[in-house]
Structure 1
Amino acid sequence: MGCGNTKVLPEASKKGYVSVVQSLVAFSKAHGDDESNKHAKKRRAPWFSTGAKNLQPASSGQQQILREGRQQARVAKYKDKFDPRVTARYDIKALIGRGSFSRVVRVEHRATRQPFAIKMMEVEGPEGREVCASELAVLQRVSHSHVIQLMEVFQFPQRVYMVLELATGGELLDRVVSRGHFTERDATQALRMVLAGVAYLHNLGITHRDLKPENLLYYHPGADSRLLVTDFGLATFGGAGSEVSSGDHSGAETWSLRTTCGTPEYMAPEVLLSRPYSCAVDMWALGVIAYIVLSGSMPFEDDSRTRLYRSIVRGKYSFHGDPWPSVSNLAKDFIHRLLPLDPASRLSADQALRHPWVSTMAASSSMKNLHRSISQNLRQRASRSSSRCPSSNGSSADSTKVGLGKLISLEGNQEQQQGRASGPHPARGASTPSN
């Protein structure tokens, strides 16, 4: 995915994120890839998941004691920040994530001993309050088997504590690579669960804006686990907020958003071009996710942020290389219908659920095991990423703005030239790129 894989945030949000490449590095470590182990960095766990594999090699008892001591010290440090009314009900167990305005800990309910995650958000400053209010407004509204559930909230002047389901089954890609056998039918099983959750959100007028494999977590490690859509730090309602365009806000099809945010490789063209957009941006991201799940590679990828953006706004992707010759045309058609450049041409979540490839659970597709090709592609990407990503002290937000400026200028010039040459520009569809 390249070195610049950072989340593009709204001005008021500085929330951190876990990169796909780090998840792939974790895969290489888990499978004894010595060369990748030389370069891979330790992955930071998602803030609501404890299902990540232990990425460190077996250590001595003394090292284990030291680690446990450091963990206990961190727990004690953050436990002191928790309001007594929260700790009276929940026992703080471990710190599992952090952001600019938040800390997330694994907890146990003192009465039932059931595990949960508590996200503690600092709300003294205006930015923290805005981020918290936005996320809380969404989480308080949703209740679906494939969407992370908010259990209860403690609100105080300085901090807000959100008690959430604790997903322990690991990320989507972790499950894919750990199975040892993966077919198109397995892919549809996962995507059906995600689509069900996204359709529910869209029917409520909620756009997630940061769908990616890291934000799709299994509730438990079992084979029958449900898959959850998580991390609503960038989610928003379509009918509220200053960024929403004027007009009839009666449904998800009639409103549009304007804030540029998300994770670059998953951002839809209209977002990159600073055009008004709708929940169709989530469907573009699901097309990217489907491509990754079936191949282990990215449809849009480049070390250069500007070239990455250019390939996205031109819709430049292909089905070359393994395992694509073994993937059905129906599966490719499903991806095509999620990646048109024209948002109005994309499948909605409800329509995607009715696509023949999904609705029949790939019944007419080949049952060939794609796992080997997927795993090889994941390892290669992890190795490339770990060897070519130097540390950078520059501002990713600033570099993103520069890249977007160049891209928008380039795109505008291209459209003007095409308009002079051939009249009005036709809607660009989701075909594979022309040479």
Structure 2
Amino acid sequence: MFTSRLSSLAALAAVLSVTAGDVNSVCKSFGVDFVDEGSYFINSLSQDPFTCVSTFKGCNADIAEILLVDPQNEEYLCSQVQTTPEDDPKLSTCPILKNQMSTGDWIILVLGNNDDGNPFAWERDIHLDVGPQATSTVTPTVTFNVTTTPVVTTKTATTSVSTSTVGPFSTVTRPSATASQTKTITPVPVTKTSTTTFTRTSTSVTATVIATTKTVTATCTVPKPGRQDKSATYTPTLITAEALRPTSPPAAKYNRYVRKTDRAVDYAYAKSRVEAAKARRDAKANADVARVEKRAPDAPTVTVTAATPASTTITYTGAPVTTTETVLSTVITTSTLPAATFYTGIFTSTITLPTQTKTKLISTTTTTKVTRTITASITWTTTITPTASVTACKKVGGSIGPARRI
């Protein structure tokens, strides 16, 4: 029986060791999407609530209170998060919309009792630049490479010589005798025209762009937890610390944190609280732009690809091609015979040679046009972002962006 009691006590001790928290536990918090001393951009056109993601180390199983403080020290009690399991991203939603926020220095407080361990109060100081998200349009360019071949024409000269003889061809006296010599008459040559046609090929290029659309799903990029949050220096009013051991020296481990109110997230209430600070927010909306880091949670610029690509044609000149054309020129030479001596009564016999035919060569050029079509391909990438994926990505402190190549 004594042994049985010992076994029962050992079992009870084992259960208690599992359920009881570590009294020496030090619970540490880390920012995921917002890191202490970081600067971030907030899209003022967004109607989403402000959220922040945290991870914890060395904590007992308990909850952590998340408190958001604006530049005018207005406090917003955000949703509670669990401090376990370790390194598991925890999302907290605050009762203020992004379009209600202002540019300036904000504070995220992480407070908790850590069950039976050391209570904690951590502070995360961030700078927010609030403004409308810009849109950048990128026009892709398609380049066409065209090679042209110049044609150089050279001409060769051909000369046709035509000789005609002019002289007295008749007499005015009646001959009484016949001359012993015969006179040869050469008629004027008849010119015949011969036409030669040279054909040139003219090539023109037509550029055509073939566009292809490819759809990909956006990917979730989850940043790694940043530096550990520092000890809180801001004293909140919505959450107070109650001393459990007033006789002990004041220290964080002897204080328990309680909410002054357990109100639910009320966006209408939050809106009424920020109306008083609206004038100050508008005056500071354009300040400190250089401090913004282009990272989570919002991107300062959204890049859009233009629907119609621009095209550029680069022309290369190839080696020239030489063509030869023949140009015919005609030279007419006139020869005048010396005056014939006629004796009265002498008949001169004449012989008329056949008429010569001269060929005149004329060159003409005709151009044949040939159209050559070149094509270039371009692929449009359209990113689709399922709503379920956005929600799941936000819960782990990630940001949605274009798909990455692996």
TM over 0.5: same fold? no
Q: Please, what TM-score do these two structures have when normalized by structure 1?
A: 0.18
Larger radius of gyration: 2
Higher relative contact order (CA 8 A, sep 6+): 2
| Structure having the larger proportion of residues in strand | 2
